[in-house]
């Protein structure tokens, strides 16, 4: 490769540029405000963890752990992994900081990048972002419906109205073995149609076969038993209570008996929120209950439930109909001559510190070039100051919308501009 050629970013990774980042911030603000209304608090977890955390938490025989993790041994020989999701890390933190001892019920949210080495395509990246919410310490079904309501409301607030919540129950360690046995019997009889991955998985983790996209496996699974038909009494009551309270809350959902999730930790409620806006990559959020995970990771028995929204996918949908403008430039100072530029620089710093977005060109440029730049930036007002104006003790303030100009005494510039923008801000706040 030519050593002077520009370096491109890593395949499946992407930049979020100014113009898009305003939309991302808007979505983040909407999510955070909603999470806080529901009593969630932010947790920030590291981007890298010991590989074992995900292997144990997500499951050794899953696509994520077998094929997709960015795992490497660091210079000290430790096996580390860039986090493919946030749930296992949040549980690790809950255990490590002995949170259960002070108050076992915790509601967390976190927003940040995750890493999975999947085949990149529209809506699927190798570094992608999730908006993640987790409730630890509550076993009852109300936590499930509250969380699903929360996810549903987030989409509503962002004007994404065509979402469908697909819901299933994945049972628990009491009822799942019976289901697994029935599934394994079918898999044995259909072994010749299974893909090599599923042939290998059918004994270790038969549930994963239900998830496989290969045509042979799909056909073999058409008559597969459904876990919902195997639920024990407790899981069935739990599921009925979730659907009942969701109906009570007017949260639309569809029971999807085929829904299984790609991570092994789920128990009972599992759900995905889908939209037509994305084509094939239609799941914009996924989650469920994971009552055994904290214990699997070495903590006390702790029921839990959570979900993660695919931020990139959500931003694509919201961005198709919503434009969040960048913050406009309040004032542009067009200064001509060294003395004027020196004073303009001082004023522009003072005004920025006072919260008024102020721009200028510090180089020697014609008034025409400076006005062009003010226009390009969409400045609300332009202050025009040359040596002659300064000698007179006045400068010119031009309203770029009305084109009206007025003379301002030099000593009154800062207060006039500050008053003007506090007036404009107060008006826009009403």
Binding residues for ligand HAM, rule: CB under 6 A, are 85-87, 116, 118, 124-125, 128, 130, 132, 134, 262-263, 283-288, 290, 306-308, 310, 312-313
Q: How far is the CB of 31 from ligand HAM (least distance, A)?
A: 14
Q: How far is the CB of 50 from ligand HAM (least distance, A)?
A: 17
Q: How far is the CB of 66 from ligand HAM (least distance, A)?
A: 14
With CB atoms as reference, the residue minimizing the distance to ligand HAM is 310
Sheet of 70-73: strand order equals 48-50, 79-82, 70-73
Question: What is the distance between the alpha carbons of residues 423 and 428, in angstroms, rounded to a whole number?
Answer: 9
Picking from 281, 313, 274, 317, the residue whose alpha carbon sits closest to that of residue 166 is: 274
Q: How far is the CB of 281 from ligand HAM (least distance, A)?
A: 7
Question: What is the distance between the alpha carbons of residues 60 and 362, in angstroms, rounded to a whole number?
Answer: 59
Q: How far is the CB of 216 from ligand HAM (least distance, A)?
A: 24
Q: How far is the CB of 336 from ligand HAM (least distance, A)?
A: 51
Report the residue number, 30 or 193, with the smaller CB distance to ligand HAM.
Answer: 30
- Structure tokens belonging to residue 247: 């109906």
Question: What is the distance between the alpha carbons of residues 187 and 171, in angstroms, rounded to a whole number?
Answer: 20
Question: What is the distance between the alpha carbons of residues 419 and 422, in angstroms, rounded to a whole number?
Answer: 5
Instruction: Report the sign of the C-alpha dihedral through residues 296, 298, 301, 307, in that order.
Output: negative
Report the residue number, 54 or 421, with the smaller CB distance to ligand HAM.
Answer: 54
Question: What is the distance between the alpha carbons of residues 130 and 134, in angstroms, rounded to a whole number?
Answer: 12
Picking from 147, 131, 151, 141, the residue whose alpha carbon sits closest to that of residue 85 is: 131
Report the residue number, 125 or 155, with the smaller CB distance to ligand HAM.
Answer: 125
Phi, psi of 332 (to 5 degrees): -115, 130
Q: How far is the CB of 124 from ligand HAM (least distance, A)?
A: 4
Beta strand ranges found along 101-251 (DSSP E): 106-115, 127-136, 164-169
Report the residue number, 59 or 287, with the smaller CB distance to ligand HAM.
Answer: 287
Sheet of 358-360: strand order equals 358-360, 331-335, 381-385, 394-399, 405-409
- Residue 275 CB burial class (10 angstroms; 0-12, 13-18, ≥19): buried
Give the C-alpha distances (Å, rounded to integers) separating 215 from 212, 219, 262, 267.
Answer: 8, 6, 18, 27
Question: What is the distance between the alpha carbons of residues 390 and 408, in angstroms, rounded to a whole number?
Answer: 11
Phi, psi of 318 (to 5 degrees): -65, -40
Q: How far is the CB of 258 from ligand HAM (least distance, A)?
A: 15
Q: How far is the CB of 194 from ligand HAM (least distance, A)?
A: 23
Report the residue number, 155 or 347, with the smaller CB distance to ligand HAM.
Answer: 155
* SS3 state at 59: coil
Q: How far is the CB of 128 from ligand HAM (least distance, A)?
A: 3
Q: How far is the CB of 266 from ligand HAM (least distance, A)?
A: 7
Report the residue number, 59 or 310, with the smaller CB distance to ligand HAM.
Answer: 310
Question: What is the distance between the alpha carbons of residues 61 and 372, in angstroms, rounded to a whole number?
Answer: 61
**Beta pairing, strands 70-73 & 106-115:** unpaired
């Amino acid at each position: 490769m030519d050593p002077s050629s520009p370096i491109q970013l890593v395949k499946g990774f992407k930049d979020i540029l100014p113009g898009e980042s305003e939309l991302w911030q808007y979505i983040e603000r909407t999510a955070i405000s909603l999470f806080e209304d529901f009593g969630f608090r932010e947790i920030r977890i590291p981007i890298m963890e010991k590989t074992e955390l995900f292997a144990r938490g997500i499951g050794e025989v899953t696509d994520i752990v077998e094929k997709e993790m960015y795992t490497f041994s660091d210079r000290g020989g430790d096996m580390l992994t860039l986090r493919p999701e946030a749930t296992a890390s949040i549980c690790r933190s809950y255990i490590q900081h002995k949170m259960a001892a002070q108050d076992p019920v915790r509601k967390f949210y976190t927003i940040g990048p995750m890493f999975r080495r999947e085949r990149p395509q529209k809506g699927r990246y190798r570094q992608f972002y999730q908006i993640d919410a987790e409730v630890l310490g509550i076993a009852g079904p109300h936590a499930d419906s509250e969380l699903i309501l929360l996810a549903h409301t987030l989409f509503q607030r962002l004007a994404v109205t065509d979402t469908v919540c697909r819901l299933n129950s994945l049972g628990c360690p009491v009822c799942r073995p019976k289901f697994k046995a029935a599934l394994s019997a079918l898999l044995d009889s259909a072994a010749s149609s299974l893909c090599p991955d599923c042939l290998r998985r059918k004994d270790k983790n038969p549930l994963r076969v239900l998830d496989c996209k290969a045509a042979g496996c799909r056909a073999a699974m058409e008559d597969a038993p459904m876990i919902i038909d195997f639920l024990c009494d407790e899981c069935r009551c739990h599921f009925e209570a979730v659907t009942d309270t969701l109906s009570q809350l007017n949260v639309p959902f569809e029971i999807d008996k085929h829904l299984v999730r790609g991570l092994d930790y789920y128990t009972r409620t599992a759900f995905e929120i889908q939209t037509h806006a994305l084509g094939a990559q239609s799941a914009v959020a996924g989650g469920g209950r994971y009552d055994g995970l904290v214990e699997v990771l070495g903590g006390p028995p702790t029921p839990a439930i959570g979900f993660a929204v695919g931020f990139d996918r959500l931003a694509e949908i919201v961005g198709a109909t919503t434009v969040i403008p960048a913050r406009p430039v309040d004032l542009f100072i067009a200064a001509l001559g060294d003395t004027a530029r020196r004073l303009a620089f001082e004023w522009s710093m003072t005004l920025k510190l006072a919260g008024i977005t102020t721009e200028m060109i510090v180089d020697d440029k014609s008034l025409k070039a400076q006005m062009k730049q003010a226009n390009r930036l969409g400045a609300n007002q332009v202050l025009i100051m040359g040596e002659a104006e300064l000698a007179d003790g006045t400068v010119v303030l031009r309203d770029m919308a009305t084109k009206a100009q007025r003379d301002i005494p030099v000593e009154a510039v800062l207060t006039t501009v500050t008053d003007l923008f506090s007036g404009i801000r107060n008006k826009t706040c009403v």
